[in-house]
Amino acid sequence: MKGFIFDLDGVIVDTARFHFLAWKKTADELGFALTPELNEQLKGVSRVDSLKKILEWAGKEIEQDYFERLMTEKNEDYLTYVERMTAADILPGVEDFLRALKEQGHPVALGSASKNAPLILEKTGLISLFDTIVDGNSVKKAKPDPEVFLVAAEQLGVPTGECVVFEDSEAGVTAANNAGMVSIGLGSPENLGHADHVYSDFTEFTPEFIVNLQPKRK
């Protein structure tokens, strides 16, 4: 019996664009133009590390209290979008895929850097499909460190080599690989070529195919 671990942003729901809009506003305040291309490097990265990257790109050093204020304001901006989310924001094929896994009795976890994961799953009506949620409130180390996936596997009671991870970010795929798990990249092969398999979205494969994937052996 395999365990299935899902990232949130860009995998289950398209909140990646909300993050971009919120971070772009932060970058504008710092006098830096955040591009969609640079934003790719922020996917799957914690809020603290994302702001550090933006400051590095902007060539800025700021006081800690200003740093904390920018993080708080970014999250508040992001949450204004999240509060309006509904089931319509679930990405194509995701809900059917999750329900098929649950019907087959497979344990399912969320493994996300987002501290707003439970709220988003509640808003979209998906929270009951997850056996456990491991998010930014549960772990200390950000992706590409594998901690979030290792904790999820432990909570599911499934060996790491028997876990399949769905990710849309370079850091997330690296974290899954570092955990010794099968990595499924959702997005562009140019960005996610280090994943074991890459697809554009959940409509490109069936639950049966994923369940029959060979586990990784140590």
CATH number at residue 50: 1.10.150.240
Q: Let me know whether 27 and 56 are in one domain.
A: yes
Helices (H), 30-63: 36-39, 47-58
Query: Does 161 map to a domain?
Result: yes
Is it the case that residue 218 has pLDDT exceeding 60? no
Tokens 């586990």 locate to 215
Query: Does 42 map to a domain?
Result: yes
| Marked catalytic residue, from 7, 28, 77, 135 | 7
Query: Does 59 map to a domain?
Result: yes
Is it the case that residue 16 has pLDDT exceeding 80? no
Q: Let me know whether 71 and 37 are in one domain.
A: yes
Q: Let me know whether 110 and 122 are in one domain.
A: yes
Q: Let me know whether 55 and 95 are in one domain.
A: no
Looking at the DSSP assignment, which residues form a beta bridge with residue 197?
184
Q: Let me know whether 9 and 115 are in one domain.
A: yes
Instruction: Please report the pLDDT score of residue 136 as a whole number.
Output: 87
Which of 82, 111, 128 is the endpoint of a domain? 82
Q: Let me know whether 150 and 194 are in one domain.
A: yes
Q: Let me know whether 73 and 103 are in one domain.
A: no
Q: Let me know whether 104 and 148 are in one domain.
A: yes
Query: Does 217 map to a domain?
Result: no
168 is known as an active-site residue: no
Higher-pLDDT residue of 215 and 177 is: 177
pLDDT, average across residues 190-218:
85
Q: What's the pLDDT tens digit per position in 29-56?
A: 999 999 999 998 888 788 899 999 999 9
Q: Let me know whether 134 and 197 are in one domain.
A: yes
Which residue in 36, 76, 70 sits closest to 51, CA to CA?
A: 70
Higher-pLDDT residue of 218 and 116 is: 116
Q: 53: buried, middle or exposed (CB in 10 Å: 19+, 13-18, 0-12)?
A: middle
Domain assignment of residue 33, given as a range:
16-82
Q: Let me know whether 125 and 112 are in one domain.
A: yes
The CA distance from 35 to 15, in Å, is: 17
pLDDT, average across residues 15-34:
93
Higher-pLDDT residue of 16 and 175 is: 175
Q: How many domains does the chain have?
A: 2
Is it the case that residue 19 has pLDDT exceeding 70? yes
Instruction: Please report the pLDDT score of residue 217 as a whole number.
Output: 60
pLDDT, average across residues 187-191:
91
Which of 37, 59, 82 is the endpoint of a domain? 82
7 is known as an active-site residue: yes
pLDDT band, very low/low/confident/very high, at 1 (cuts 50, 70, 90): low
Q: Let me know whether 7 and 59 are in one domain.
A: no
CA separation (Å) from 90 to 11, 55, 143, 213?
Answer: 9, 32, 23, 25
Q: Let me know whether 71 and 94 are in one domain.
A: no
Which residue in 60, 73, 63, 65 sits closest to 24, CA to CA?
A: 73
Q: What's the pLDDT tens digit per position in 69-86?
A: 999 999 999 999 999 999
pLDDT, average across residues 204-213:
81
**Order of strands across the sheet with 182-186?**
132-134, 108-111, 3-6, 163-167, 182-186, 197-199
| Segment (H or E) for 121 | helix 117-124
Count of beta carbons in the 10 Å neighbourhood of residue 112: 30
Query: Does 218 map to a domain?
Result: no
Query: Does 134 map to a domain?
Result: yes
Instruction: Please report the pLDDT score of residue 207 as a whole number.
Output: 76
CA separation (Å) from 109 to 22, 39, 49, 160, 212?
Answer: 27, 26, 24, 13, 19
Query: Does 216 map to a domain?
Result: no
Give Rg (Cα) of the chain.
17
